[in-house]
Chain A
Amino acid sequence: MAIGPVGAATSPGAQERATGLHVLVIEDDPDIGRQLERGLERAGYRVSRAVDGSQALLAGPADVILLDLGLPDIDGLELCQRLRARSAAAIIAVTARSEEASRVATLDAGADDYLIKPFGFVELLARVRAVLRRINPGESGQFHHGALTVDPRTRRVLMADREIALTPKEFDLLTCLAEDPGRVFTRQEILERAWGGHWYGPSKVLDVHMASLRRKLGDPALIETVYGVGYRLASID
């Protein structure tokens, strides 16, 4: 996957620390549950865990709920609906099923977002931040990079105060890069962020969208290709 400086940024500790927000992890697999707890705590979240649906329904309030849909006692979608009914927390569903139909069903059941296994911490934390931004619109959450402004909440992009019309995919790609300007995002990372990591077609589709994004931004040098690795926003000197 990665070489050199890229790896350092894939781990949770390198992200800015969250300010004590509470994440409820509902996961029956003890191994994954433990790793999630460790990683989220390192990123600065308070974490509590539930191993099945009945525990989850008894748990205290949380800001974000990570819900594995494959629980032993309750159907994941049903639990999702019940959690949604009693809590304003952001719900991120975790599933091993990647079919479009099941994604739609997940979102219909009240989930704010979904993660498809196997995912990494970068993708997880990015999605946690994204859902938190959506439910706490008070924080601007805008990214600025030179003449570029990206507002994930309103999904608008400004280049030197001129609005740029992007497709949803191009926007996702740009948001991903803009979150950490200068850092190289690997192809795998970007694919995971923008396609949920489960793009069945050729991964060259990523390059296709990047090329189109560059064209629209009007500054081909803004997005740099790091050959064999991935992409990054060029640093501004």
Chain B
Amino acid sequence: MTRRILAAFLGLTLALLIGVVVPLGVMSVDHDRDAFADETVSAASALASAAEEQLADHERGVPFLGTLSFRPALIGNDEFAVYDNVGRVVIPGPSHLRVAPGLVAAALSGQTVQEWQDEPQDGLLVLRPAYSGSQIVGATAVQRAADPLNEQIESLWVGLGLTGLIAILLATTLSIGLARWVGLPLRRLDSAADRLGAGELSVRASTAMGPPETRHLASTFNNMAGRLESLIGSHRTLVADISHQLRTPLAALRLRLELLHDDVDGTAAAEELEGALGEIARLSRLVDGLLAVARAEHTRPEPVSVDLRQLVRERVHIWSALAQERQIQLLTSSGDATVAATAGHLEQVLDNLLANALDVTPVEGQITVSVRRHHDRVRLEVVDSGPGMTPAQREQAFRRFWTQPADNPTRDSSSRSGLGLAIVHRLITVDGGTIGLTNVPGHGLAVQIDLHPAAG
């Protein structure tokens, strides 16, 4: 925006300079030249009047004095000459001005001759006829140096140039100032929106600066952020409160059933009670899971540089004993990769994915964890050799409480909360990563996670 405002201001200023100031200068120069010419012409006229008497006498046969007693209206270095009615020089100036005979003839025919000259010096040559009554008795020539005029014109242009420069500087300063005034609050608002989006719900924009529209925008943003914060806050406390509130009656119920279990005789009743205790355990896990989801959903990204190769190696090492027991090959292939992720997230993600993979992989199957560059991201992939998922299942897999219908329900199906992938999804996306599922022919399901490489 700064650039646009600057361009607009400078464009306007330049248009004013070119459209108004330059023509004004040209006009002013023309005017000065005309005035200079007029003055020179009147000097020649005055000279003609002064020489008129001698020229008239000469007509009557009186010889020339050769000089003029006074030289009216002549200044400084003016050169001049007086000619008689046949064009002979009768009064030469101090430096014997030479004038083309044609010009003298033109003056003797009654014309006023004006001629700008470059040689021998820059100046204006004016020839005037000299009259005695209505009769032309001779001519005068005055050559005036144009130096003072040129200096005047030069200083005019310098003055105009300086004015233009000052105008441009002023326009630049003003436009930058304006752009700041408008732009800074907008930039702050932008960064506030950014932080709000990243989960910093308490962030507010400053309404103290900038034009009224921007201030209004900032206060609208603040209203929105406030409402969002209170909504999310109440949602968060609701989930947490419900979960915590459920725990006390669950504890009471559990203790009561355990005591009752101790009192009853007969396997049938005891089995029923054990079933009830099992349901309580399930409820407790659900409450824990809900809290975990709530926590994951409200987690704020604080990405640090994580050595993914190292992390994969550690997690796989931890899980290898279990995989070995189940006769499942746990393979890794990892290039060097550091990614930006919040501390602890990727460990949880790998634990969840490896748990799922072990669940579906049959004996003597294999699970591969790989890390490689993928375009400008780092791809972490876990491939199992289970049955995979149908497209419909893949679409729903990240939803809370979704569980894949198991082929083998005896294995750990009771411990599935349906929250693992939902948590994984959240932990990945909060750090700006993406996660997808595909079936790999000949293997099983591939979970593909694309992460931002660590900066620098």
Contact = CB atoms under 8 A, between A and B. Distances in A.
Interface stretch (B70-78, B113-121, B131-139, B350-358): B350-358
Q: Is the interface of B mostly helix, strand, loop or mixed?
A: helix
B258 to A, nearest CB: 5
Interface stretch (B227-235, B276-284, B394-402): B276-284
B185 interface: no
A117 B78 CA distance: 116
A35 B291 contact: no
Given A98-B291, A118-B250, A36 B255 contact: yes
Contacts of B359: 204
Contacts of A160: none
Contact of B258 (A10, A188, A200, A202): A10
B255 A121 contact: yes
B123 interface: no
Contacts of A42: 259, 262
A87 interface: no
A208 B259 contact: no
Interface string B182-212: 0000000000000000000000000000000
Contacts of B358: 204
Nearest to B356: A202
A201 B244 contact: no
B372 interface: no
A215 B259 contact: no
B321 A212 contact: yes
Contact of A96 (B244, B285, B351): B244
Contact of A203 (B273, B354, B412): B412
B430 to A, nearest CB: 16
A200 B415 contact: no
Nearest to A202: B355
Contacts of A2: 274, 277-278
Given A1-B274, A96-B247, A118-B247, A32 B321 contact: no
B95 interface: no
B403 interface: no
A37 to B, nearest CB: 10
A31 B254 contact: no
A141 interface: no
Interface string A54-78: 0000000000000000100000000
B252 interface: yes
A29 B259 contact: no
Contact of B248 (A14, A32, A208, A215): A32
A191 to B, nearest CB: 9
Interface in A28-55: 29, 31-32, 35-36, 38-39, 42
Contact of A121 (B258, B291, B352): B258
Interface string A1-37: 1110001001111100000000000000101100110
A117 B412 contact: no
Given A42-B262, A211-B321, A204 B274 contact: no
B425 to A, nearest CB: 15
Given A35-B256, A204-B412, A211-B325, A12 B262 contact: yes
B420 interface: yes
Nearest to B279: A1
Contact of A1 (B281, B318, B354, B410): B281
A32 B255 contact: yes
Contact of B247 (A1, A117, A121, A228): A117
A29 B284 contact: no
B223 interface: no
A9 B296 CA distance: 36
A82 interface: no
Given A201-B351, A203-B415, A215 B255 contact: no
Interface in A200-233: 200-205, 207-208, 210-212, 214-215, 227-228
A215 B391 CA distance: 40
B319 interface: yes
B348 interface: yes
Interface in A96-122: 96-98, 116-121
Interface string A156-172: 00000000000000000
Contacts of A121: 255, 258-259
A198 interface: yes
Nearest to B283: A118
A12 B257 CA distance: 12
Contacts of B278: 1-2
Interface of B: 244-245, 247-248, 250-256, 258-259, 261-262, 270-271, 273-274, 277-278, 280-281, 284-285, 288-289, 291-292, 295, 318-319, 321-322, 324-325, 348, 351-352, 354-356, 358-359, 410-412, 415, 420, 423
Interface of A: 1-3, 7, 10-14, 29, 31-32, 35-36, 38-39, 42, 70, 96-98, 116-121, 187-188, 197-205, 207-208, 210-212, 214-215, 227-228
